[in-house]
Structure 1
Amino acid sequence: MKLFSIFSVSVLNLAMAIYYYWLIYHKKIRPSLAMWVFFTLAVGMSLFTYMKEGSHSPWDNVLNTTDLLFVSSVTLSILLFGDRSTRFNRFDLGCLFVVALIVAFWFITENNVITHLMVQGILVIAYFPVVSRMIRTKENNESYLLWGGMLLAALLALLSTRGNLALIYTGRAVVCIILLMLIMTWADRKKPA
């Protein structure tokens, strides 16, 4: 079951990264640059603190491991091909400041568990820019297929997740993705006909 989980999550994240690139390049979606920058920073820090805390394999936290490649490639795609509305605004910069504070905390304390938990907070904060934009514009620029794929990957990752920190990472992903998809649905319903 572990091998199935690792393979499935890896293939899903690779397929979603390629599809995300295609959608961004062809201007089919306009994902928030700030959200994906936050994801990249936080996912990297989350995997780092997870690996430092125990004697785990990167595959014991397959979602975190493959997410790092996924979010980094999406961030790069947005930087290269995203439109101007995906750039940082003041709200995004405030969120980035909070991210910097949490990273500074780890450098000072080197406490992996608390930092890992705070990083999960960053990963929740990472959703704020896209949620804020959806609420403000009442427009959904995200793909249900992609977020549904990310939800499926997170659920499949639960089959191979080892360690409390990995379980927290994966559980947080499931909850956040479900909430985002509910807000996407709300925005689609509010969109003028």
Structure 2
Amino acid sequence: MTLSAIIVLVINTAINIQYCYLIYKNKIQPALAMWLFFVVAVAISLATYLADGNFKPMDNILNTSDLVLVSVVMAFVLFRGEKSSRFTRFDLGCLAAVILVVVFWAFTHNHFITNIAVQTIMVIAYFPVVRRMLIERKNTESFTVWLAMSAVAGISLFSSKGTLASVYAIRAVACTGLLLLLMLRIEYLNRKEVALHTSNDSSV
């Protein structure tokens, strides 16, 4: 196992522990539906990657460790977290899209196209978070967690083997990076607004 792969495993394990701890302490209440979707999508991503070539799970270390991460988080949400959250139309739409992709895969055995389709759906899955942050103009995410996720995705590129492993990592880098930029922008605008109000109050 390469050094970069070991680093990916260590960071993803740390993210997993922290996330589960936050759930346990009721500091966050992630939706079960979202994590169920991620388990299915990440599993299909890894399965199609392995089927597309003579690869091993460790050749796509990010996808493999992500599958462990999302599975553990989903189990933790199921037993310790908020289970009453309903499936939104968006959740159902994502799950339906994944099912269609699986059906496509079953009939065509086109591993590459199926994998790319799943990556596209996983990009779309970020939309509700982005939309909520844009509407509320409030950063509801952890910089530490998302920085770690972005870093681990970038590091995994050094040990990724095959086009699909690289696509998975690049997709993760792009999504987490854009979300971090949005978080930074919201923080900047909020601090600017606070500073403006403070300045106006002091001048009165």
Return the letter of the residue paired with 1:88: F
What 5-or-longer segments of structure 2 have no aligned partner?
Answer: 195-204
- Superposed displacement of residue 190, structure 1: 5.3
Q: Larger C-alpha radius of gyration, 1 or 2?
A: 2
- SS of 2:159's partner is coil
Distance (Å, rounded) in 2 between the aligned partners of 1:183 and 1:40: 25
Q: Confirm or deny that 1:14 pairs with 2:4.
A: no
- Superposed displacement of residue 137, structure 1: 3.8
- Superposed displacement of residue 136, structure 1: 4.0
User: How many residues align structurally?
Assistant: 192
What is the RMSD computed on CA atoms of the aligned residues?
2.3
Return the letter of the residue paired with 1:135: L
Distance (Å, rounded) in 2 between the aligned partners of 1:88 and 1:170: 28
- What percentage of residue pairs aligned between the two structures are identical? 47
Return the letter of the residue paired with 1:124: V
- Superposed displacement of residue 20, structure 1: 0.3
Which segments of structure 1 move beyond 6 Å, counting only runs of 4 or more? Answer: none
Distance (Å, rounded) in 1 between the aligned partners of 2:56 and 2:38: 21
Asked if structure 2 preserves the Cα contact closer than 8 Å seen for 1:35 and 1:129, the reply is no
Can you list the C-alpha shifts for 1:4-24, whole angstroms capped at 9, x where unaligned? 111100111111101100011
Classify 1:24/1:155 alpha carbon distance in 2 versus 1 (closer, same or farther; 3 Å): same
Asked if structure 1 preserves the Cα contact closer than 8 Å seen for 2:48 and 2:111, the reply is yes
- SS of 1:23's partner is helix
Q: Normalized against structure 1, the TM-score is what?
A: 0.88
Can you list the C-alpha shifts for 1:135-163, whole angstroms capped at 9, x where unaligned? 34444332111111111111110111111
The structure whose RCO (Cα within 8 Å, separation 6+) is larger is: 1
Distance (Å, rounded) in 1 between the aligned partners of 2:133 and 2:86: 15
- In structure 1, the residue matched to 2:144 is 145
